[in-house]
Structure formats: C-alpha cells, structure tokens
Amino acid sequence: MSGEELVVDVGREGGTSIAAGVDAYETQGSFGVLLRGHGGPAHVHCRLDGPLAEVASVERSNYYVEPDGETAVPVAIDGDGADGRLEEPVEGSIELSTGYGAASTTVAVTVTPGPPPVDVDERLADPPDRGTEGSAGAALSVAGVELDAGTLGVIALGALAVLVAAATAAVVGGTVAFVGFLVVTVGIVAAVAVLLA
C-alpha cells in the first residue's frame, strides 16, 4: 500500500465510530492519513507509538473533521542516516481516536528505507564546449566553419527544396516556373548564409 494515503472513516457506523481501511500500512517515507467524515463533525486525536514515534511526527495531535468532509493528516518521516534517509526498517503504529477516546483504531505502520539517492555529476548541466576534443555533439568543419548536426540538417532540407523546385520547373516549364525556381534557390542560399554567419 506504499505511496497511497491511509484512509480512515470517521462516523461511518454512526456517532463516534472510527475505522481504518487496513490493519497494516507500509511506506518508504512520509505519508498522509485521510480522515473521511460521515454524518456529523468530529475531533480526531492522532498518536504515534513504538519506534515509529522516534522517526515520525504529525504536525499536531488533534484534527477537526467536518460533516461529510475530508481532512488530511501529514505524517513526516525523518531518517536517522547521514543523508536523512532511514538506514533500516522501522515499525510502530498510529492510533486514531475520537469521542474523547470512546472509539479508536490502530494501524501497524512499517517504514522501509527508500532507494539511495542518485549522485548526478554537475558537469552534465553545462553545455559541451565545442572547441574541446570529445565534445558530445558531432560536428563537421567545412572551410573553417564548424557545422553541427542541426545546421547540416537545415542545409540538407534546403538542398531538397532546391531539387523539388528544379523538378517542378522542369515539369511545368516556362518563364514563370524558372523564376519560381530562382526565387526558391536565392531564398535558401540567403538563409544558409545567415545560418553560417
């Protein structure tokens, strides 16, 4: 049931009744208890027991549940390891009571250590220096101008457009088609010149 809220129904059986949806709950870190009100308003007292009380905390011990409303109770887990994570599983329980203790429910809680943090090399955030060897991007140098993969792609598309314009001018024929071919060719040459500048 890890990763989900622990749902507790308040007043479903009438009056001051309280019941959790499960008897045991397992999580890898902080979690939430969702108090669902049925019928009238209620005050719910939350208490952590056992070793769980040493690594977990609730913001406050008493929560008000509105009629037919929902109240979230955040349970924060503070690890005992150097990185703030738990080093080994911790077991305990959370007791929820209403009606000044007249009705209560207890859920066994097991908190297991989460996955270890991933160390990310901060150099990955910096763009590669194109002037150094072994840079990540492939580049081609033509007449002293370095062309990366994106620029080469644009030039290839421009060449394809010139070929399509030439084929169209040859099929259609006439002065207008030839002028259209020249306009496309001059436009692409100008665009490549701006791209390389």
What is the C-alpha to C-alpha distance for residues 3 and 100, in angstroms, rounded to an integer? 30
Question: Which token pair is 82?
Answer: 């150097």
Q: Which residues of the chain have pLDDT under 70?
A: 1-3, 79-85, 117, 128-145
pTM of the predicted protein model:
0.56
Cβ-contact 91, 50 below 8 angstroms: yes
Question: Would you list the DSSP string of 63-111?
Answer: EEE-TT-EEEEEEEE--SSTTSS-SS-EEEEEEEEETTTTEEEEEEEEE
31-68 as b/e: b if 16+ CB within 10 A: bebebbbbeeebebbbebeeebeebbebeeeebebeee
Residue with tokens 């496309």: 184
**Residues 32, 117, 112, CA angle at the centre, nearest 5°?**
45
**pLDDT tens sequence across 124-162:** 777 766 555 444 455 666 666 677 777 788 888 888 888
Predicted local distance difference test score (pLDDT) of residue 96? 95
Predicted local distance difference test score (pLDDT) of residue 10? 94
Predicted local distance difference test score (pLDDT) of residue 143? 63
Predicted local distance difference test score (pLDDT) of residue 136? 47
Residues above pLDDT 90, as percent of the chain: 35
CA 113 to chain centre: 20
Residue 107: name the closest of 61, 66, 50 by CA: 50
User: Cα-flanking dihedrals φ and ψ of residue 170, to 5°?
Assistant: -70, -40
